[in-house]
Amino acid sequence: MKYFMTDLHGEYKGLKLLLKYAEIDYTKDQLVFGGDYINRGKDSGKVIRRIKELTEMYPHNVVALIGNHEEMMGDYYQSGDMLWQNHDGRNTIRDLEKNFPNEKERNEHIEWACNLPLVYEDDEFVYTHAGLNPFEPLEKQSRDILWMSESDFYSISKESLFNLTKSKPIIHGHTPTERIYFDGIHLNADMGSNTYIIEEERGLGLVNLTEMTYLVYRQYHKKIEKREIARF
């Protein structure tokens, strides 16, 4: 099975529940995380710790990509850029200090999160946080793609994207949605964890790309639902 989860935004409880519910076999199944592990939720530190553990325990089957929130965190620690502070960075700093009282361990996790790859590719799909630039090779994408709006990404022709990915669909997140759709080239799996404007619709999704279904932990209702991915 191939799974994808993105835009957790500090949702550790949902992460644990979804991975347990799905009964993922990490020795056989593939799991890709699409970035934005931190900010807005209350457990950024726990999320980073667990995902880092999984990538280290199962390096051939679990992959983590960087999101724009990790990019902002890196810019803050490396150059003092204050943009992160406008996106819940202050609360995340406090949470990281609580979860990693040892400064060396804390810095190791911050450095890990800020230096994750932009893109991952397997035999069926290409994975990224927000979008792709069709004029740059996959292995040389600029960091601007972490900030690409869904409208800009979806305005790129299918032909241009398939030329870039060798006809592989692109799995991504970054822009919250209430339902997951697949149009043959894009699949957005950001269910709005701790971010979506309608609080009752906020969720964390775990996509089963093999079956084209997904589990969503609905944070307001505190329950898991299984849904079919809509196709058009």
CA dist 169 and 227 (Å) reads 20
Q: Is residue 81's pLDDT more than 90?
A: no
Entry pTM = 0.97
Question: Over the chain, what is the mean pLDDT?
Answer: 97
Tens of pLDDT, residue by residue over 28-62, are 999 999 999 999 999 999 999 999 999 999 999 99
Q: Which of 84, 102, 97 is CA-nearest to residue 39?
A: 84
CB of 72 closer than 8 Å to CB of 35? no
Mean pLDDT, range 66-91, rounded to an integer: 94
pLDDT score at 232: 85
